[in-house]
Every structure is written in C-alpha cells, then in structure tokens.
Structure 1
Amino acid sequence: MRNVAIIGRPNVGKSALFNRLAGRQISIVHDQPGVTRDRIGSICKLGQAPFEITDTGGIGSEPDPDFAESTREGAFIAMGIADVILFVTDSIDGVTPLDGELSSMIRSVARQVILVVNKVDTESHESRGFEFSRLGFKNFVTVSAAHGRGIGELVDIIESLLPEFEPELEPDQMPPLKLALIGRPNVGKSSLVNQILKDNRTTVSEIAGTTRDTIDVAAEYEGQHYILCDTAGIRHRSRHNTSVEVFSVMRSEKTIRRVDINVLVIDATCGVTTQDKKIAGLIQKAKKPAIIVLNKWDLIEKQTNNDPDLLREHVERAQSELFFLDYAPVVILSALTGENIRRLITMVEKVRQHATRRAGTGELNRVLRAAIERQGPPSRGSRRFKLLYAAQAKESSNSSIAPPLFVLFVNDPRLLPESYQHYLCARIREQWEYPGLPILMRLRGREGVNLDMNE
C-alpha cells in the first residue's frame, strides 16, 4: 500500500498529526519530548483512496544515546519505504538548527517531501510559517494538528504526490502471468507452448501475426491463468538475413522487458551456446525474473542411458555456463513427450509466490551486519564503509512480479565495490529464498550520493 512517513524532531506534534490523519488516537500525545520512540502505523481514509501512515520517534535531543540511535534508524527505515515524507516542524519554535540538519537528511533519501508547519492554530498565526520557506521545500502547508486546521489541504497535497491507488486483488482476481518463451530458433519454444495447451486443452485466444511475430496465447493450467508469449527465435547477429528478422529480434528483446517471467529455452542436446549466453544477458540486463528450461531431455536420457551422474552433469554444466543468471532455477523437460511440463508450471508459481515475500527489517539488519563482521569491505585509505541500516522496499514495476528491492542507508555508497554488493546479495539469498528473482539493491548515502545495482 502507498505509504507516508511522518518525520521531525521531538515535540513538534508528529503524533498529534498522525492521530488526526488516522482518525483516532493511536500514538500517545504529550508535551514531553521522546514519548514516541517506535514506528507506529495506521491507515488514513480522509482522501479519495486510503494510504498508510507511519509515525516515528523524534530525531535529536534524546537523552539516552541507545534510544537516540534506534529512533534515528527507525526514522530512516520509515523514510526508505515511504512514497511521501511529511517533515513536521513547530511554528512556535521557528526554524531550529536541528530542523536544518533534518532537512539535509531528508533530502538524501530522495523522496517526495511536504514541509508541514504545525501549531498554526488560527489565521493570525499564518505569518509564523514564512520563515520556514528558507528550508527550500517546494511543497509547504501550515496546519494545526490539535484543532484539525489545514488537514484537508494537507491530504490533498499528499494525494497529488502519491502514486496512483491500486486496490489489492483477491487471488482469483489477479491478472494472468505473462510468460515469455525466449531462445534461439528451433530449440522447441513453440512445441513447449503447444504441449502446455495440449495438457490443459484450453486456449482462450490467439493474438495476431506472422510466424516472425511474438505470438501471445491465453491459456489456463490447473485453474491458473497465463499469457504465453512465443517469441521469434533470436539468431546470432551476423545471421540476420533480412530487415524483418532484425525487427523480430527487437520485438523479442521488447518482450523480455514487458513480461512477468522469462523462460529461457535451451536445446539440451547442444548445451549452452554463445547465442544462449547473449540471450541470457538480455534477461539479466532487463533485471527480470527467469527460469531456464533444458528442452529435448528425452534425447539426453537416451544418450546417457538415464545415468543420474551424467544427467546431473548436464544440468551443472548449464548452470556454470550461465553463472551470471544464477538466480534462475533449471527445469529439465521434453516438449515433445510432455515430460516435466507440470514441473515448469510449479516453478512458475513458486517464483510468483516468493516475489511477495518480505524480509523483516530487524532480521535483515542482523544478517547484513553479521555478513560485514564476517568479511568486511575493503577500505579506501582512512575511510571505511559503514552500514547505518537496511530495509526492504517495494520496487515500482508495471509487472505483476517485482524483484525484491533492498535499500541500504550507508555513510558513502562509493566505498562499497560492486563485488561486495554481490556478496551482500548472496547473504540475503542464503537467508530468504528468492528462486527466479534477481535481487535489487539501492544504496543511499548521507550526502545525497545514491547508487543502484542488481545481482
């Protein structure tokens, strides 16, 4: 759900604003600083569509340093997963040095921000808000959380900045998964589509085109709905004989980006070719979920006389050749005989299921800190990398399946080499199973330096 985080120094009225937006008293309101130390969540239903609100502890002026650190971390985590940040200030106190520090900290998170000047109880107090314009935030509103003044205007601004509301769907209302069958010519992609359709005997529609087009087929398998995208075979670039073939390759590359899961089909009798690697590279570059299919397994079984060691060797060799797509599980099957077709569909559903998994913030931070303690990143001169905290966020995506995204708040992202980011992603994958899903990592620095990477 869309999320709004309430941030500010102690005793500026954050909890009063939270209760006002929630429509009931959830956070304790008191004029003693530091009453709220934990993050508290609720739903605001004052606008046209609901959104989640998160109240955080006041940052700064905390007498207990242990609480101060945990409160600061909690606020950063809330900002990391928020779509919009409400930066609450106190019109009576005016702009304080701590407000200035917090404004810099909030800008480093790179989110939509609304500066909320609280305790403007009457129209005659409006002039108190003028000095806050020097903090430099575009979105600005004066309110009285205690009396409800200006709350309607605040909600209007929040809704203008939030992403479009998407109601949660019941499982039977979920849109069908789009599966692209990608691969070289003649590896059995169309045969695989036909085998799936034969198994369930239900074809709803077939959408357009010539044999060089991407064919989208709507199908149902054991109650689950899918769109199967059978793409034109992607040839080696030197073998594109016509402009039509070049165009078909472009269509296939576009299909990789638009579908939910890419199924890379490989001819098991040939092994992984150079062109297979290039196609796998397109999937990796697009940061898309993937499954690797070793097709024509019936022929491999004949060649090896079903020797389990030789069969395992084929799978391990394919995984080694496609090491850069190591998040993709391997399914062996035969599109000709239908062997293991059900196993492919089971894996598709497993990828869908694990895409909804969330890592608990506390456990995530423990896993990453333990990984850093076990093997720290290299230092640059006297500067050393420091992880402040981490949280899983929701990746904005047009797809039904979004890869897991982890936001790491650090002292300086430039101190973390790419190889070490892969090390951290591997530790995450050890703790939480994400079959078929690339792990995305976003680094946020104290001074507004940000870096994105994907495993």
Structure 2
Amino acid sequence: KIDTEKQENLTADFASLGFSRSQSISAEHNRGISELLQAIDDLLLPPYAAPEIKHQTSNAKRPLAIAIIGRPNVGKSSLINSSVRSERAIVSELPGTTRDAVDISYRRNGQEFLFIDTAGIRRRGKHSSSVEVFSVMRAERSVRRADLCVLIVDLTMGVTAQDKRIAGLIQKARKAAIVVLNKWDLIKPKRNQKKMVAQLIDETRARLFFLDYAPVLVASAFTGENVVKLFTLMDHVQHAAQQHIGTGLLNRLLRATFAANPPPIVSGRCLKLFYAAQTSGKQDRRLQPPEFVLFVNDPRLLSEAYRRYLEARIRKAQPYPGLPIILTLRPRNETREK
C-alpha cells in the first residue's frame, strides 16, 4: 500500500527486519509491480546462460546459442521447425502460443546449434497478464544469453515500430544479428522477384539503420524457401568473428582517417589518436563482436557521429557481417600506468 512517492519513506522501517531485498508496491495503483516481477524473474533462472550452455570446458565445443525473437505471430516457431526439419516448436495461428523460452538442440554438418524459441515481444503497455510480463522478460533475457539473435519480421506488415524496439534490444546487448523477412510466400510476385527482394532488403536496412550490420534474408518458414540460407549466413558471421585486423594496418587506417576527416572541435579541443589495437578475434573462438581499443588524449571528445564514422571506416577494411563493432576509448595515461 505504498500509493505515493511520499510513502516511500515508510519502507525504511522494514530494513530492520533483515531482508536483503525489499520492493514497495501499490496493488491498487500498479506502482512497483513491474519491478517486483523483474525481481522475481531474476531469482528463477541464471541471468545469462542456461545450464545446457554454461561452464563448458571449451567454447569451440559448446553449441551456438541462437535466440529467435520478434513480435507475436511472425513465425518464430515455424522458422525453427523449418530449420531443423522437424515439428520441435509449437505452432499456432493464435499469437502468444509460446509463453516461455524453449531450447531446441540441433546438429548440422558436425556443428551443434541451440535454438531458443522465445515468446513474442509486445509493447510493455499492452501486457494483459503477469504471465505475459514474465514471458517478455524471458525473451529479453534470451537476447542476453544468446550468441546470435535472429530477428523475425512479418513481410505482410513490414518493419513496425515494435520491430524497431526489439532490434534496439539486440543493439543494446551488442549481439551478433541476422534479420529474416518471413512470409515471403504471401507476397511473392510472379515476376521481378529479384528486384522486389532487393527493394525489401533496402527498405529494411533503412528502417533498421542502427542494425545495419545485420544481413537480411527474405524467406518463407511455411514453404521452406531460403530457410537453409540462414545456416550459410550464420557460418559467415562465425567466420567474421574470428577475423583480426593487424595492429600496423589498423593504426595506418585510423591515422589516415583522422587526417582526411579530422574529428570535430569540442570546447576548443580536438580528439587525438595515439595508438589503436584490436582486442578480440585473433584467437577467440566465441562468436563475439570485434572490439578495438583506441588510446586518445580525452575520450570525452568523441562525438557519436564521429564514432559511427570510425566504425564505418573499420568495416570498409574488414566488413564483419552480422557483428557490431565496439570502440573503447582510453586516455593515453592508462598506457603509461601499465
């Protein structure tokens, strides 16, 4: 019955009871309910990895965890069934059939895959029950847990605002990603199919510009058309994750970039690059984004626009399909301390 902000002060009296965690709520006014459900969900399962893929002795031997995410009824379960060529996930025309993340193991060409079939992610304000709230929390957790996220978009509806929000979850988690435009069979024209596919991909990239590193695949889970190409794209992403730009080449590239298009001046100061190195990819067998450390005079001088510019220049030298590029800036004095 903590109905107002002023009543929050009353919760201090409960600290003497010795509980490590407490949550104030108001059932009548729906205050703190989402926070309570999140706290409960945090206690139910490990936060990032399920037992099947946790504490493996070798990253190379553990399965590639792939989260299939998207809005309700876009064909997530159908895509998994089509991929593994078996009715392993429940499929229904009713949205919301999948309520929890379901792990589906699959072996192909000697590689182990772990597909994570998730509940459809709706807008937070439209949850109809606590069960659905938990379902969405589990779906969001699956994004963090996965090595790679496959975002399913319904071609009959195009990229919606909610699709963009879900893509934002992938971007925020810095996960490898592939976008699948599903239900191609419902809009497939009799002529000029290649032209339409190219147009659909361009439109998707424009709408999901912040996820532009993700390959886009037009497919039909219902007929199976192009579904096998998903594995080809995943192979490309895994290969890209092991690519490494040599330190010499990287520094020449970035110095030329800074010289050709200098960073903007901020409060009378300009960002200066002293040294750069890639800290991932060379011997890393896990599917993780390439990370580059740049030693500069002051990391605060880097604008978001110039960060994107640097990422684009690096990607031109090494495309890294399906992988976000992470730039970490450190002041030069850190190198001296080491």
Equivalent residues in 2 for 1:90-109 (5 A)? none
Q: Which position in structure 2 is the counterpart of 1:406?
A: 292
1:345 is matched by which residue type in structure 2? F
Q: Which position in structure 1 is the counterpart of 2:246?
A: 360
Question: Which residue of 359, 366, 375 corresponds with 2:261?
Answer: 375
CA displacement at 1:202 relative to structure 2: 10
Q: Which position in structure 1 is the counterpart of 2:213?
A: 327
Q: Which position in structure 2 is the counterpart of 1:422?
A: 308
Structure 1 residue 389 corresponds to structure 2 residue 275 = yes
| Cα deviations by residue, 1:330-389 (Å, 9 ceiling, x for unpaired) | 011110111111111110111111101111000000111111111000123543221101
How many angstroms apart in 1 are the aligned matches of 2:205 and 2:264? 29
How many angstroms apart in 1 are the aligned matches of 2:157 and 2:171? 22
Percent of matched pairs sharing the same residue: 51
8 Å contact kept, 1:202–1:219: no
8 Å contact kept, 2:274–2:332: no
2:64 is matched by which residue type in structure 1? L
Question: Which residue of 202, 220, 226 corresponds with 1:316?
Answer: 202
How many angstroms apart in 1 are the aligned matches of 2:269 and 2:216? 42
1:335 is matched by which residue type in structure 2? A
Please give the root-mean-square deviation of Cα atoms over the aligned residues, in Å: 2.6
| Cα deviations by residue, 1:7-45 (Å, 9 ceiling, x for unpaired) | xxxxxxxxxxxxxxxxxxxxxxxxxxxxxxxxxxxxxxx
CA displacement at 1:167 relative to structure 2: 7.3
8 Å contact kept, 2:197–2:218: no
CA displacement at 1:326 relative to structure 2: 0.6
| Cα deviations by residue, 1:362-419 (Å, 9 ceiling, x for unpaired) | 0000111111111000123543221101000139xx9931110000011111222121
CA displacement at 1:315 relative to structure 2: 1.5
2:322 is matched by which residue type in structure 1? G
Structure 1 residue 286 corresponds to structure 2 residue 173 = yes
1:373–1:247 distance in 2 versus 1, CA, 3 Å: same
Decide which moves more: 257-266 or 438-447.
Answer: 438-447
Question: Which residue of 110, 131, 139 corresponds with 1:252?
Answer: 139
Structure 1 residue 178 corresponds to structure 2 residue 26 = no
How many angstroms apart in 1 are the aligned matches of 2:153 and 2:312? 26
How many angstroms apart in 2 are the aligned matches of 1:313 and 1:379? 39
2:299 is matched by which residue type in structure 1? P
Equivalent residues in 2 for 1:432-447 (5 A)? 432-447=318-333
**Mind listing any 5+ residue stretches in structure 1 that lack a counterpart?**
1-165, 450-455
How many angstroms apart in 2 are the aligned matches of 1:325 and 1:285? 10
| Cα deviations by residue, 1:67-87 (Å, 9 ceiling, x for unpaired) | xxxxxxxxxxxxxxxxxxxxx
How many angstroms apart in 2 are the aligned matches of 1:300 and 1:218? 31
Q: Count the aligned residue pairs.
A: 273
8 Å contact kept, 1:259–1:399: no
8 Å contact kept, 1:258–1:399: no
1:334 is matched by which residue type in structure 2? S
Q: Which position in structure 1 is the counterpart of 2:115?
A: 228
TM-score, length of structure 2 as denominator length: 0.75
How many angstroms apart in 2 are the aligned matches of 1:350 and 1:284? 19
Q: Which position in structure 2 is the counterpart of 1:124?
A: none
CA displacement at 1:234 relative to structure 2: 0.6
Q: Which position in structure 1 is the counterpart of 2:4?
A: none
8 Å contact kept, 1:385–1:416: yes
1:442 is matched by which residue type in structure 2? T
Equivalent residues in 2 for 1:21-32 (5 A)? none
Structure 1 residue 350 corresponds to structure 2 residue 197 = no
Q: Which position in structure 1 is the counterpart of 2:148?
A: 261
1:258 is matched by which residue type in structure 2? R
Q: Secondary structure at the match of 2:122?
A: coil
CA displacement at 1:447 relative to structure 2: 4.5
1:290 is matched by which residue type in structure 2? A
1:274–1:190 distance in 2 versus 1, CA, 3 Å: same
How many angstroms apart in 2 are the aligned matches of 1:253 and 1:234? 8
Q: Which position in structure 2 is the counterpart of 1:115?
A: none
How many angstroms apart in 1 are the aligned matches of 2:228 and 2:84? 12
TM-score, length of structure 1 as denominator length: 0.57
How many angstroms apart in 2 are the aligned matches of 1:181 and 1:381? 45
1:263–1:358 distance in 2 versus 1, CA, 3 Å: same
Question: Which residue of 163, 166, 171 corresponds with 1:276?
Answer: 163
CA displacement at 1:446 relative to structure 2: 2.8
Q: Secondary structure at the match of 2:270?
A: coil
How many angstroms apart in 1 are the aligned matches of 2:326 and 2:137? 25
1:187 is matched by which residue type in structure 2? V
Q: Which one scores higher on RCO, CA 8 angstroms, separation ≥ 6?
A: 2
How many angstroms apart in 1 are the aligned matches of 2:171 and 2:121? 16
How many angstroms apart in 2 are the aligned matches of 1:194 and 1:202? 5
Q: Secondary structure at the match of 1:331?
A: strand
How many angstroms apart in 2 are the aligned matches of 1:273 and 1:437? 23
8 Å contact kept, 2:98–2:118: no
